[in-house]
A and B are shown apart, each in its own frame.
Chain A
């Protein structure tokens, strides 16, 4: 019996090492905002916590499959182990402890960070260097730069241009059905609900554009009917100087 425990432990360790190796590869889209780094970090942390749990199940199931085969023709009974002793109690303590640990960190701590820093990222309703009013309608986006007199629309071949290193608050609305305002490079999304305004604050940290990476785009993430798949608009993050020039150019046009 002891031999089986050792074998399972070895298999578990090997599978866990394999799982960790997979996690360490870079499978994330481009990082375009402060929050994106946060997301990638939490994702990896959860994966580190999850992999040993997963590989434990894989190891026991896989090992049992090979090591505990009974006779194919005439099945015989195994040992009458009922599992009434300390094993379930230990299991309950360990799994309960893991669940509470993951609830607290990165769960509630991550949430607290999200809520405490409305100027940095999150769903804050105040504070920002730039406010953009976003409207979703079937099946396009429009973004109006508040106080700058500039509006870009998906229909007009527009591009959501944002200055790097500044906090930007999006105030999101919908005129018809539920949409969702999502920029994969920033790892942030918030639904656009008719009749209410929702908020999303981001701080772009890298310059980039849709031409360089498709994660720089506004994508509708909530099924909104016919052309839902086509409801997206490119995003370009530029330096403050370029942004100012872009604003002046568009102000003169409009």
Chain B
């Protein structure tokens, strides 16, 4: 049992590392005459040692570490399903590892949302105390942030990008495996937070509260700094892959739009994630070593954190939603059977978002008491982002208009992205505008807005992509009827829940509260009922996925008659992706152009599927 061996040796080495770290801390402290145990310091050092131990134990030692000492490396060759539980460097395996992991995390965090809506169905505290509510809310927030950052990039990106550009793998396959295996400790730490007092600060972790609060915060900081590392390393890997591993003929002007969006998101991740990590590291140092970055009485400044934090965390929403845009446009093009409208403008839109995203962070701080002269520039720059975003809409709407829409489940989700994000974008204007934001800031209006953009924009695209790539990943077809039921159920549940949620925000319901004013009870009850409806829709999804993966009918290599490269090989593809290196001859989206060819894959096409240029 390679899978069992890999995981248990990872856990064992991790625990040994942890205790070693605690021991080293105790020894060093003893030399200076301090007590051997200091909660902040011992756990931090123990975690760092434990993390290295976990990685080595889970397979990094054999596949990579031995090399550093001049020894021969080896890889655990695990058969069948067991390959998902070892230090596997195949990007397709890693993509599925990411996807399954984060879909599970998504469902778990969704369950927490159900708990919150149950508590909020009535005014007063029903079954959660205030601190329990804060813990549930904080965990829901950070787990969903992790899903939004990693599910599309780590899951769909890892799986599809090398295939779409005609590469054999990512540029740094071992780094890719390392990136994935950093995630389980993050999940474990976050899930342990309720045992150490629960998160009190939400996912934003504003000091001084995050410095003063329970030790759950320590686990949170360690987890998220690690998670930031996965983002940075993943971003680096994608940038190098897309720049240097494109097949012959795959010029920048022929790059599929999803690859472009991954390129942009990877730059965002590489450039900005350190902001979040640095902010949380400063909180950690304040907690563990009393460094007073944010302690006003010692000369620190709480606003420093907010600037550094939002310098990452606003670009982070584009790390989330830009690959969502890319996926939506990708699916819309294939299912409209029409070229992507204004391709170059859509790419320009993505690059425009990249350029502007680092210049808007302080719109999260309009009421923070920062200098008044900052409000104008941040208002204007924030609203300017609607211009590149508008180009994404131009491409999407221009493609479906006059198309031959093939309304399968992935297409429904992709069209819903345009619908939902339009609303999320328009409500964003109210929050970018300082006079309206003064009232709406930190209310349920904001909660509704960001769920519309991130869930409506990215998560809908993610589910569309899961259905789209299901036959490619598993070799089997999902059930179309159940897929459509899931879509309509989720779409209606989502819009009913979150459209209504703007209203209590305007009326004066602040966010992150276990209890609210009695007059807000009726609208909250209705929101809760719709939220339960939304939550239930995922039962259909889970059933469809599990059943189809085991029992679904065998899929064709290219069930969608799509022209991009990932569909010009077998489903699932061989380890080396293509039997021979593909050669790209033309644009990927020339639907309706007689005789057009995107790429030629020598000897690749299985019988019964149309060839690489099958647009006729």
In the complex, A223 Cα to B80 Cα: how many Å?
A: 48
In the complex, A91 Cα to B395 Cα: how many Å?
A: 11
Report the minimum CB–CB distance from A6 to chain B (whole Å): 13
Contact present for A193 and B368 (CB under 8 Å): yes
Contact present for B394 and A107 (CB under 8 Å): no
Question: Which of B209, B300, B419 touches A225 (beta carbons < 8 Å)?
Answer: B209
Report the minimum CB–CB distance from B251 to chain A (whole Å): 16
In the complex, A43 Cα to B429 Cα: how many Å?
A: 10
Question: Which of A95, A110, A194, A223 touches B302 (beta carbons < 8 Å)?
Answer: A194
Given contacts A29-B506, A78-B591, contact A225 B134 (CB under 8 A): yes
Contact present for A111 and B379 (CB under 8 Å): yes
**What's the tally of chain A residues with a CB closer than 8 Å to chain B?**
87
Q: Which residues of B contact A221 (CB under 8 A)?
A: 367, 441-443, 510
Contact present for A88 and B134 (CB under 8 Å): no
Q: Which residues of B contact A60 (CB under 8 A)?
A: 397, 400-401
In the complex, A28 Cα to B508 Cα: how many Å?
A: 9
Q: Which residues of B contact A65 (CB under 8 A)?
A: 405, 407, 415
In the complex, A61 Cα to B508 Cα: how many Å?
A: 33
> A147 within 8 Å of B by Cβ?
no
Given contacts A61-B419, A83-B398, A188-B439, contact A229 B208 (CB under 8 A): no
Question: CB-CB contacts of A31-59 with B at 8 A, as 1s and 0s?
Answer: 00000001100110010011101100110
Contact present for A180 and B397 (CB under 8 Å): no
Q: Which residues of A contact B339 (CB under 8 A)?
A: 80-83
Q: Which residues of B contact A51 (CB under 8 A)?
A: 426
Contact present for B296 and A68 (CB under 8 Å): no
**What's the tally of chain B residues with a CB closer than 8 Å to chain A?**
97
Contact present for B380 and A61 (CB under 8 Å): no
Question: Which of A68, A82, A188, A189 touches B400 (beta carbons < 8 Å)?
Answer: A68
Question: CB-CB contacts of A201-227 with B at 8 A, as 1s and 0s?
Answer: 000000000000011010111111111
Contact present for B433 and A110 (CB under 8 Å): yes
Report the minimum CB–CB distance from A70 to chain B (whole Å): 3
In the complex, A102 Cα to B407 Cα: how many Å?
A: 36
In the complex, A57 Cα to B506 Cα: how many Å?
A: 24
The interface residues of chain A, by DSSP majority, are classed as: mixed
Q: Which residues of B contact A58 (CB under 8 A)?
A: 419, 422
Q: Which residues of A contact B343 (CB under 8 A)?
A: 82-83
Question: Which of A113, A123, A184 touches B507 (beta carbons < 8 Å)?
Answer: A184
Contact present for B430 and A43 (CB under 8 Å): yes
Q: Which residues of A contact B387 (CB under 8 A)?
A: 92, 95-96, 99
Contact present for A219 and B508 (CB under 8 Å): yes
Contact present for A88 and B342 (CB under 8 Å): yes
Contact present for B404 and A77 (CB under 8 Å): yes
Contact present for A77 and B130 (CB under 8 Å): no
Contact present for B390 and A95 (CB under 8 Å): yes
> Which B residue's beta carbon lies closest to that of A189?
B367
In the complex, A182 Cα to B336 Cα: how many Å?
A: 49
> B140 within 8 Å of A by Cβ?
no
Contact present for A88 and B433 (CB under 8 Å): no
Question: CB-CB contacts of B178-199 with A at 8 A, as 1s and 0s?
Answer: 0000000000000000000000
Scan residues 416-475 of chain B and give those whose CB is less than 8 A from a CB of chain A.
418-419, 422-423, 426-427, 429-430, 432-436, 438-439, 441-443
In the complex, A223 Cα to B446 Cα: how many Å?
A: 14
Given contacts A39-B438, A110-B433, A180-B442, contact A70 B406 (CB under 8 A): yes
Contact present for B436 and A43 (CB under 8 Å): yes
Q: Which residues of B contact A219 (CB under 8 A)?
A: 508, 510
What would be 21 A-B contacts, judged by CB atoms less than 8 Å apart? A4-B401, A4-B402, A43-B506, A46-B430, A46-B433, A50-B427, A57-B418, A57-B419, A68-B402, A77-B592, A108-B379, A111-B435, A190-B369, A214-B519, A219-B508, A221-B441, A221-B510, A222-B442, A223-B512, A225-B209, A229-B130
Q: Which A-B residue pairs are the 8 nearest by beta carbons?
A: A195-B296, A184-B508, A70-B404, A198-B369, A229-B513, A83-B342, A95-B390, A80-B592
B residues at A contact (CB < 8 Å) = 130-131, 133-134, 200-202, 204, 206-209, 212-213, 296-297, 300-303, 336-339, 341-345, 367-369, 372, 375-376, 379-380, 383-384, 386-387, 390-391, 393-395, 397-398, 400-407, 415, 418-419, 422-423, 426-427, 429-430, 432-436, 438-439, 441-443, 503, 506-508, 510-520, 561, 590-593, 615-616
**Beyond known contacts A107-B379, A176-B208: 8 more, CB 8 A cutoff:** A4-B401, A42-B436, A61-B418, A68-B405, A69-B405, A92-B390, A103-B380, A228-B130
